[in-house]
């Protein structure tokens, strides 16, 4: 079993794929939050987990952390650090979703802007998806070879 | 793993993110205040966008007041929520004009209601800004007498007032 893990962790093609998948996903995820910060702030409020004074700051800064980390992953700039940031964010998302699942708390403002004219994803699926992304991030962190397609001097 | 180097890199990446975030938020017309208004006892919650402020409709912040206005008659209540929500229950005599379908439905609304009409919009309560958006859209089309009943349908229903 140990050898199988070892070969997965040291596979540079998997590492490259992981960086691209995670990077593109995070860049895409950040886009609507950057374009509509007021709507995202309302979603943050809806989780009912943060002191009210921090809600706007989270809504302003978090999407850019996703964007910069995603960009860093794709271009291979500080890859381990970028992966640590994305894994950290994923842990935060998983915790937030799980806490609200356990509480049975669902925020329905009843508004169109939050997409309640359409449909939203089931939290359990999002949690599973985020765990998978987290595992990809872990591979990037644990990888110790030469990373493909990355900016050589800056690769960690 | 070189811990200190990694810490430095993380700080750099987070620092760039925070700086870029603040700059974009400050310069963008969609930017929001650093602290929003999230207290429902103060009114409808909002992230407090700092962009060009549009006309703000007058708010009816007590359900009793909304009932008075309803009883006085001659006021058109307009429901900003989705068709499904409207059909599940609405204020008697209210017209459905889902804000997400405004462009499609406004034509027939204009045919039936003169711009001089007194209007009160409502949606799902103080966590919803749709009624404000609807009021602004109507104002933009020439409806000068538009107010927003901020406690919305849930507030009305909670007081036990008649519903349809």
pLDDT digits (tens, 9 = 90+) for B45-80: 999 888 777 788 999 999 999 999 999 988 999 999
A100-109, A135-144, B8-17, B44-53: which range is least confident on average?
Answer: A100-109
For chains A and B, CB pairs below 8 A equal: 124
Indicate the residue of A37, A45, A56 with minimum beta-carbon distance to B35.
A56
Residue A6 belongs to a domain? no
For residue A3, being part of any structural domain is answered with: no
Mutate to test the interface with B, among A60, A72, A115, A145 (most CBs of B within 10 A): A60
A67 touches chain B (CB under 8 A): yes
For residue A124, give how far its alpha carbon lies from the nearest alpha carbon of chain B (Å): 25
For A71, the domain range is 11-151
Asked if pLDDT for residue A62 goes beyond 50, the answer is yes
In a domain, A1, yes or no: no
Look at residue A29 and tell me if it is in a domain. yes
pTM comes to 0.84
Nearest chain A CA: its distance from B145 CA (Å) = 23
Nearest CA to B98 among B111, B114, B113, B79? B79
- Report the share of chain A in percent with pLDDT over 70: 88
pLDDT of residue A117 exceeding 50, the answer is no
Instruction: Name the DSSP class of A146.
Output: P
User: How much of chain B exceeds pLDDT 90, in percent?
Assistant: 76
A35 pLDDT more than 50: yes
Chain B positions touching A82 (Cβ under 8 A) are 13
CB within 8 A of B10, min separation 6: which ones? A78, A81, A84, A85
- Residue found by looking up tokens 């008659």 in the block: B73
Number of domains in chain A: 1
A84 belongs to a structural domain: yes
Which residues of chain A neighbour B133 with C-beta distances below 8 Å?
A: 113
Q: Provide the 10 A C-beta neighbour count for residue A17.
A: 14
Q: How far apart are CA B105 and CA B46, in angstroms?
A: 26
Express each pLDDT in A130-151 by its tens digit: 999 999 999 999 998 888 888 7
Q: Is residue A2 part of a domain?
A: no
Cβ-based burial of B12 (10 A; exposed 0-12, middle 13-18, buried ≥19): middle
**CA distance linking residue A30 with residue B49, whole number of Å:** 19
Of A64, A81, A112, the CB nearest to B17: A64
The answer to whether residue A61 is domain-embedded is: yes
Give A118's pLDDT tier (boundaries 50, 70, 90).
very low
- Is A116 within 8 Å of B82 when comparing Cβ atoms? yes
Over residues B125-154, mean pLDDT: 92
Q: Which helix (H) or strand (E) holds B32?
A: none
Is residue A156 included in any domain, yes or no?
no
């Amino acid at each position: 079993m140990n050898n199988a893990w070892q070969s997965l962790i040291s596979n540079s093609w998997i590492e490259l794929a992981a960086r691209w998948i995670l990077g593109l996903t995070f860049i895409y995820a950040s886009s609507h939050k950057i374009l509509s910060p007021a709507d995202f702030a309302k979603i943050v409020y809806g989780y009912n987990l943060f002191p009210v004074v921090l809600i706007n700051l989270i809504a302003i800064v978090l999407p850019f952390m996703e964007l910069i980390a995603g960009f860093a992953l794709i271009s291979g700039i500080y890859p381990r650090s970028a992966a640590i940031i994305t894994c950290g964010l994923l842990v935060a998302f998983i915790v937030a979703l799980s806490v609200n699942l356990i509480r049975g708390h669902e925020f329905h403002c009843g508004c169109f802007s939050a997409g309640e004219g359409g449909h939203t994803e089931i939290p359990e699926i999002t949690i599973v998806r985020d765990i998978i992304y987290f595992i990809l991030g872990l591979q990037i962190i644990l990888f110790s070879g030469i990373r493909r397609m990355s900016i050589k001097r800056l690769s960690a | 793993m070189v811990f200190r180097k990694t810490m430095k890199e993380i700080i750099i990446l987070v620092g760039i993110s925070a700086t870029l975030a603040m700059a974009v938020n400050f310069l963008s017309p969609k930017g929001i205040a650093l602290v929003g208004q999230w207290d429902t006892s103060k009114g409808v919650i909002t992230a407090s966008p700092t962009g060009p402020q549009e006309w703000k409709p007058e708010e009816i912040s007590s359900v009793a007041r909304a009932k008075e206005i309803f009883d006085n008659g001659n006021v058109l209540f307009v429901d900003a929520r989705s068709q499904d929500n409207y059909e599940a229950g609405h204020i008697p005599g209210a017209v459905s004009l889902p804000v997400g379908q405004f462009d499609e439905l406004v034509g027939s609304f204009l045919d039936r209601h003169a711009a001089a009409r007194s209007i009160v919009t409502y949606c799902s309560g103080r966590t919803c800004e749709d009624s404000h958006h609807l009021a602004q859209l109507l104002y933009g089309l020439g409806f000068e007498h538009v107010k927003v009943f901020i406690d919305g349908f849930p507030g009305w229903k909670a007081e036990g007032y008649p519903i349809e």
